[in-house]
């Protein structure tokens, strides 16, 4: 059972069966659950690799990105492999942002992180959404999704079984009881 | 004294030549996950292309054009051959490169004949560079050293100092993630394969004329390049570099040592009269890399600098 939350996505639906780089170039960013940072490269080099086209860079320069996230600034020239779990998650999201996507799919960003860090990651995702990037957050933890989402969807057995606002969802004890409570 | 100087110089030159071949092989291994059996065939193609181009124009044009052509052949092989075979798994890829090696050898025999061709050192470089204790050292070997070091520096700059190099390195270890970030991974793989083949071709261009350019040169060079890659640690460029120099020096010093087993193990009662005592150190030279291979596989299976075991 997975919990979906999304802000509005205005673009056309991406065609399936495309090669991954072509999907990315349509403006769809992907932050995998496994994070997949490049461990032997520095934080800065990881960010460089997020840029799709150096001649036509996105909204943020690498320096601006590092200014927004002082934790990463302090580690800019360290190998990404030595970062903590939360820092790695931040780096993964920043790296995808460097490619200037219109929509980012973030898969289980809080997996394996301490509660305090989960809070920070949630704030960061809300910040990104405020800059006008649509976010599709896939989460198993209710708290973070209800706190930052504009719409929530519940998925069960591979189908969307509920869709609505977080406020509406809070009143739907039936959905919770059926799909989310053990 | 001159023996040491010459063995050192020749060892370094031969070592760098091995690195030119093994660097491409190890990069391609990181990418495909299998050893490319046809890699030394691209080395042979480099020598033959250079021979033909030199006949029509000059050595200097061949020096640039032949590796480029070999690289293009490599890129085509990846794009229309390996990429399709890849869907069927590693064994299919391995067999494909195995067959390709024989195919290239037979094509070479058809085009250039079964015996060696007269690929020569250019006259401009055919003079002794310097003389040490009465023995002279050919200028062409110094030129090989220069080309090899230029290639080494060029490859290092490409991989470590450019964004393209970063993307290549990232694609070798995390191809899916690099694709999600919007980089064309199939194109990167084709380019890496092409560059690897071009480097092997360059080795053929500068070595084909001091060794022999014949259809057997790929099969002679193939095993030793595998030894370098395994000893260095599969997938590690630094390891391939160390192993290339190590094997280059080891072989050249062994050839330069004029001693027999009897001289060394005389204290054990071994004499020239016994068969074992007559074995010469210099005759062991060609065997040493393979001895090293066996020892490495027994005592350090991941190679000198490798990260994963075989």
What CATH code is carried by the domain that includes residue A85?
3.40.50.300
In this structure, chain A runs to a length of 182
C-alpha A106/C-alpha A36 separation (Å) is 13
Query: Coil, helix or strand for B155?
Result: helix
From A180, A175, A156, A177, select the one nearest A164 (Cα to Cα). A175
Q: Which domain holds residue A143?
A: 2-12+19-180
- Cβ atoms of A14 and A103 closer than 8 Å: no
pLDDT the model gives residue A14 = 53
C-alpha A72/C-alpha A1 separation (Å) is 33
Quickly tell me which residue has 């391995």 as its tokens. B94
B4 touches chain A (CB under 8 A): no
* Model confidence at A91: pLDDT above 50: yes
Shortest CB distance from A20 goes to which of B167, B170, B179?
B179
Query: pLDDT tens string for chain B (310 positions)?
Result: 777 888 888 899 999 999 999 999 999 888 878 789 999 999 999 999 999 999 999 999 999 999 999 999 999 999 999 989 988 888 999 999 999 999 999 999 999 999 999 998 888 888 888 887 777 888 999 999 999 999 999 999 998 889 999 999 899 888 899 999 999 999 999 999 999 999 999 999 999 999 989 999 999 899 999 999 999 988 888 899 999 999 999 888 887 777 777 777 777 777 777 777 777 777 777 888 899 999 999 998 888 887 765 5
Chain B: give the shortest CA distance to residue A61, in Å. 15
Chain B: give the shortest CA distance to residue A22, in Å. 7
Shortest CB distance from B180 goes to which of A20, A38, A40?
A20
Q: How far is CA B84 from CA B35, B77, B174, in A?
A: 17, 10, 21
Q: What CATH number does domain B2-258 carry, 1.10.3470, 2.120.10, 2.40.128, 1.10.238?
A: 1.10.3470
CB contact under 8 A, A21 and B183: yes
pLDDT the model gives residue A5 = 35
Chain A: give the shortest CA distance to residue B306, in Å. 14
Q: How far is CA B93 from CA A148, B27, B32, in A?
A: 48, 16, 9
Contacts of A49 in chain B (CB under 8 A): 163, 166-167, 170, 178, 181, 183
Shortest CB distance from B184 goes to which of A21, A95, A96?
A21
ipTM over 0.90: no
pTM: 0.86
Alpha helices in chain A (DSSP H): 20-25, 43-50, 62-68, 70-74, 85-98, 115-130, 142-148, 166-171, 173-175
Q: How far is CA A122 from CA A95, A118, A127, A171, in A?
A: 17, 6, 9, 23
Quickly tell me which residue has 């790929």 as its tokens. B218
Q: Please tell me which residue of chain B has the smallest CA distance to A38.
A: B170
Q: How many structural domains does chain A have?
A: 1
CB contact under 8 A, B174 and A20: no
User: CB burial class (10 A; 0-12, 13-18, 19+) of residue B110?
Assistant: exposed
- A91: tokens are 């780096």
């Amino acid at each position: 059972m997975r919990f979906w939350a999304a802000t509005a996505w205005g673009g056309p639906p991406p065609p399936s069966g495309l090669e991954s780089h072509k999907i990315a170039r349509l403006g769809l960013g992907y932050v995998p659950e496994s994070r997949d940072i490049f461990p032997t490269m520095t934080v800065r080099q990881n960010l460089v690799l997020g840029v799709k086209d150096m001649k036509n860079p996105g909204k943020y320069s690498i320096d601006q990105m590092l200014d927004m996230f002082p934790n990463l600034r302090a580690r800019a020239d360290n190998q990404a492999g030595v970062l903590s779990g939360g820092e790695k998650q931040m780096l993964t999201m920043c790296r995808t942002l460097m490619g200037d996507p219109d929509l980012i799919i973030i898969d289980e960003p809080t997996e394996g992180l301490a509660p305090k860090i989960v809070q920070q990651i949630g704030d960061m995702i809300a910040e990104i959404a405020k800059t006008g990037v649509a976010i599709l957050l896939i989460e198993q933890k209710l708290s973070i999704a209800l706190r930052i989402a504009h719409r929530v969807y519940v998925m069960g057995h591979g189908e969307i079984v509920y869709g609505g606002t977080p406020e509406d969802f809070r009143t739907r004890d039936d959905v919770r009881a059926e799909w989310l409570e053990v | 004294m001159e023996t040491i100087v010459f063995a050192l110089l020749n060892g370094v030159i031969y070592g760098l030549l091995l690195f030119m071949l093994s660097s491409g092989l190890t990069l391609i291994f990181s990418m495909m996950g299998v050893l490319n059996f046809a890699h030394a065939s691209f080395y042979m193609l480099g020598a033959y292309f250079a021979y033909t181009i030199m006949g029509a124009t000059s050595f200097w044009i061949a020096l640039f054009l032949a590796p480029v052509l070999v690289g293009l052949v490599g890129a085509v092989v990846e794009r229309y051959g390996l990429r399709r075979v890849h869907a069927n798994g590693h064994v299919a890829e391995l067999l494909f490169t195995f067959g390709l090696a024989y195919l290239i050898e037979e094509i070479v025999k058809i085009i250039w004949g079964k015996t060696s061709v007269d690929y020569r050192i250019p006259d401009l470089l055919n003079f002794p560079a310097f003389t040490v204790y009465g023995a002279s050292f050919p200028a062409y070997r110094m030129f090989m050293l220069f080309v090899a070091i230029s290639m080494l520096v060029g490859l290092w700059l490409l991989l470590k100092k450019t964004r393209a190099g970063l993307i290549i390195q990232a694609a070798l270890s995390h191809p899916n993630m690099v694709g999600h970030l919007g980089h064309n991974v199939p194109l990167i793989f084709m380019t890496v394969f092409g560059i690897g083949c071009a480097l092997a071709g360059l080795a053929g261009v500068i070595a084909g004329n001091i060794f022999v350019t014949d259809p057997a040169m790929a099969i002679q060079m193939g095993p030793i390049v595998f030894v370098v890659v395994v000893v260095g640690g599969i997938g590690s460029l630094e390891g391939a570099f160390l192993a290339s120099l190590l094997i280059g020096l080891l072989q050249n010093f062994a050839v330069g040592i004029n001693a027999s087993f009897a001289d060394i193990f005389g204290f054990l009662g071994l004499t020239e009269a016994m068969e074992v005592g007559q074995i010469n150190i210099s005759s062991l030279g060609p065997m040493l890399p393979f001895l090293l291979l066996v020892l490495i596989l027994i005592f350090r299976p991941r190679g000198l600098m490798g990260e994963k075991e075989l």
